[in-house]
A and B are shown apart, each in its own frame.
Chain A
């Protein structure tokens, strides 16, 4: 069954609300006419406004309130239409949620608190609608940070956050909302947890990425294949914890690697992986090429013209890989509109 990412999220929320009487969804816009980009469609009609709550604009209090519900056994999903607004609630996320189990010696306490943070890009999202502090959040002990890249990983990430007993942040990229994919409900429900996913097998180069850069990397992999370059492609959904050994083994085989970051490089997931590669005894002496793609350090402008080169796409991945492997460059036509994910996107945010 093929679904949009938004439909997959909606389905996961619906299933949790149906299966658990003591579950609640809360967030600004959750019951408004647009239903958070359709992700909360039909929920209030099915489960009522006591469990699907349209709250006042109080991000910090809402986060504590959501957590208070969890402390009495409720599964709660709190949604922010942009990650930037969740910054008002970092006291609760950092000082309360991430450390509650530790602070009170209750490591086995079930606290299914899912915080959805939607990240914007393009169309003038600018300095306060496009920030993505997933790397920092993933550094917090006691908090699981999941960054899905398609319908299946989005569905399972929501289910994990609402069922696992572990406080979870879901980084949900706006540009992935309308991508379509299949749901696989049969394989392990924890298939994205604590592990890397291998999406393509190759011998020329190892590529790692996550989030909204995954579809770009898949497309780049397909193009490179036409030029006899095969990519060992690894992606992560669980940014808090993943076993890096498949990546290190791959690197020992290809001797070339590109790490692709979804945000700026400083204090990022990719920098963390770089350190692990450098300190890995088996790989540190044998690398032929090492490359990183990331956003340029600095705040994002709202300007169409000033953001033309800010983001990377499959084109940059292809160009960099060819350069990295000393291959002849090929010409790939860039879309004139760099600030939309596709023709479907007509704004406003």
Chain B
């Protein structure tokens, strides 16, 4: 297992905390009616964004899904433009036309997220092919969920990426539910077997083992930059809230209590916190980081809400 120094550990925590804080402020304010678009929060799924943020290079590209906030922020996407987009403002990152599910910030290589399941996967492969033809050693993050691995275009894309040895890092965040439907009802065999069938490198990560995933990122990035072809990560994770929206929906009973308890005990922020304290990072240092992030996020959000307030009539 790769040793992670304390500075890196704090950076990983800050990235995860940043995404959590952004998502939390959206959840806390959604009911005000100023964010008027379907919104899929990443709360609970911050581990992958934290690692992507750590290894980010703006010349590496990314495409994502309906649940893209964490990926956009991890790539360094503009926070004010993000909040403006959620508020449907012309100043948003997609001019207010896209909303939560259609984000982009080309300056940092975040090319786009779209809402149709698996829709951006081949687009990411095409981006990778352009990089290869150009002789670049950059690569493309292709983020998807477990539901997208059930789409034909995913397999077409894997096949094509392997055939042309394209620099694609497919990252599947498997939260085990396609809206309310559990993976056991949807998958006949392991994704690993399917991916290996294409002769593609595959890594499985469970229990929010960020140290293991950190080492896998190092290995995969070197593999991709050296032109060896695609790589697949399947990362088990957990969304705390409902599929779409700001609320919890555990009262519906579609996820077992044991399942929820298990993931509650493996919240990535708690894991990072525990390890930081074990590493001897002072609580005051952590608190300072938290406060700076909260201040930054709150300011950007309030600025955006103030703009939205001038446009959207008060429902009361």
Count contacts on B: residues with CB < 8 A to the other chain.
35
Evaluate whether A60 and B104 lie within 8 angstroms (CB atoms) in the complex, with A71-B127, A92-B119, A96-B114 already known: no
Assess the B97–A51 pair: CB atoms within 8 A: no
| A58-B160 in contact given A92-B119, A95-B114, A95-B116 (Cβ < 8 Å) | yes
Determine if A68 and B122 form an interchain contact, defined as CB atoms under 8 angstroms apart: yes
- Asked if A104 and B98 sit within 8 Å, CB to CB, the answer is yes
> What residues of chain B lie closer than 8 Å to A74, measured between beta carbons?
130, 133
Contact (Cβ within 8 A) B126 A69: yes
Q: Please tell me if the beta carbons of A72 and B130 are within 8 angstroms of each other in the complex.
A: yes
Encoded as 1 (CB less than 8 Å from any A CB) or 0, chain B from 105 to 131 comes to 000000110101001111111111111
Which DSSP category, helix, strand, loop or mixed, fits chain A's interface?
A: helix
Give CA–CA (A321, B116) in the complex, Å: 49
Within 8 A of B (CB), among A66-100: 66-74, 91-92, 95-96, 100
Contact with B along A21-65 (1 / 0, CB 8 A): 010100000000000000000000000001100011010111111
Residues of A90-147 contacting chain B, CB below 8 A: 91-92, 95-96, 100, 102-106
How far does the alpha carbon of A74 sit from the alpha carbon of B128 in the complex, in Å? 12
Which residue in chain B gives the minimum CB-CB distance to A92?
A: B122
Q: How far is the CB of B110 from chain A (nearest CB, A)?
A: 11
One of B97, B102, B130 near A68 (C-beta < 8 A): B130
Q: Are B97 and A105 in contact (CB under 8 A)?
A: yes
Question: How distant is B232 from chain A, measured CB to nearest CB, in Å?
Answer: 16
| B218 surroundings in chain A (CB, below 8 A) | none
Asked whether B123 lies within 8 Å of A64 as measured between CB atoms, the reply is: yes
In the complex, are the beta carbons of B98 and A105 less than 8 A apart? yes
User: Is the pair B127, A96 in contact by a Cβ cutoff of 8 Å?
Assistant: no
Residue of B at shortest CB range from A65?
B126
The size of the chain A interface, using a CB distance under 8 A, is 32
Whether the pair A100, B112 counts as a contact (CB closer than 8 A) is: yes
A61-B156, A74-B130 known; A68+B92 contact, CB < 8 A: no
B157 CB within 8 Å of chain A: yes
Q: Which of B123, B129, B130, B163 has the most CB of A within 10 A?
A: B123
Contact B160 A55 (CB under 8 A): yes
B127 touches A61 (CB 8 A): no
Q: Name the distance in Å between B199's Cβ and chain A's nearest Cβ.
A: 14
B98 to A: closest C-beta gap in Å:
5
**Does any Cβ of A come within 8 Å of B95's Cβ?**
yes
A60-B153 contact in complex given A66-B126, A105-B95, C-beta closer than 8 Å: yes
Cβ distance A27 to chain B, nearest Cβ, rounded Å: 14
Interface-centre pick from A55, A69, A70, A74 (highest chain B CB count, 10 A): A69
Contact between chains at A58 and B94 (CB < 8 Å): no
Would B114 and A61 count as touching, CB distance under 8 A? no
User: Contact: B131 with A91, CB < 8 Å?
Assistant: no
Across-interface contacts of A102 in B (CB, < 8 A): 97
Least CB separation from A73: chain B residue: B130
Cross-chain contact of A96 among B92, B97, B119, B128 (Cβ < 8 A): B119
Q: How far is it, in angstroms, between the C-alpha of A58 and the C-alpha of B157 when the chains are bound?
A: 8
Tell me whether A60 and B133 are in contact (CB under 8 A): no
Minimum distance in angstroms from B241 CB to a CB of chain A: 25
A63 to B119, CA, bound (A): 11
Decide: B125 and A104 in contact? CB cutoff 8 A: no
Tell which of B95, B97, B153 has the most Cβ of chain A within 10 Å.
Answer: B153
Question: Please, how many angstroms separate the alpha-carbon atoms of A74 and B96 in the complex?
Answer: 27
Chain B residue at smallest Cβ distance from A74: B130
The 8 Å CB contact of B116, one of A24, A91, A100, is: A91
Q: Are A104 and B126 also in contact (CB < 8 A) when A55-B160, A58-B159, A65-B160 are?
A: no
Q: Which residues of chain A are near B92, meaning CB under 8 Å?
A: 105
Q: What residues of chain A lie closer than 8 Å to B130, measured between beta carbons?
A: 68-69, 71-74
Residues on A with beta carbons closer than 8 Å to the beta carbon of B96 = 105
Shortest beta-carbon distance, B81 to chain A, in Å?
Answer: 10
In the bound complex, how far is the Cα of B133 from the Cα of A51, in angstroms? Answer: 8
Q: Write the nearest CB–CB distance from A112 to chain B, whole angstroms.
A: 13
Tell me how far the C-beta of A168 lies from the nearest C-beta in chain B, rounded to whole angstroms.
17
**Residues of chain A contacted by B124 (CB below 8 angstroms):** 68
Contact B94 A104 (CB under 8 A): yes
- A71 & B126 in contact (Cβ 8 Å cutoff): yes
The docked-state distance in angstroms from the alpha carbon of A172 to that of B112 is 31
B153 contacts which of A22, A71, A91 (Cβ < 8 Å)?
Answer: A91
B152 on the A face (CB < 8 A): yes
Contact (Cβ within 8 A) A60 B97: no
Taking a contact as CB atoms under 8 Å apart, the answer to whether A64 and B116 are in contact is: no
Question: Complex Cα distance A22/B95, Å?
Answer: 29
- Which listed residue, A55, A62, A103, touches B102 by the CB 8 Å rule? A103
Across-interface contacts of B112 in A (CB, < 8 A): 71, 100, 103-104
Q: How far is the CB of B289 from chain A (nearest CB, A)?
A: 32
In the bound complex, do residue B163 and residue A69 qualify as a contact, i.e. CB atoms below 8 Å apart? no
A-facing residues in B83-108 (Cβ within 8 Å):
92-98, 102, 104
Q: Which of A64, A74, A95 has the most CB of B within 10 A?
A: A64
The reply to whether B133 and A61 contact each other, CB–CB distance below 8 Å, is no
Please state if B156 and A67 are interface contacts (CB–CB under 8 Å): no
Q: A91-B153, A96-B123, A105-B96 are in contact. Are A68 and B160 (CB under 8 A)?
A: no
**Which B residues have a C-beta under 8 Å from some C-beta of A?**
92-98, 102, 104, 111-112, 114, 116, 119-131, 133-134, 152-153, 156-157, 159-160, 163
Given A72-B127, A92-B119, 9 additional A-B pairs, CB 8 A: A61-B122, A61-B153, A64-B120, A65-B126, A67-B126, A70-B126, A71-B112, A72-B134, A105-B93
Would you give 7 A-B contacts (Cβ < 8 Å), ordered by A?
A24-B133, A56-B163, A61-B157, A64-B153, A65-B122, A68-B124, A104-B93
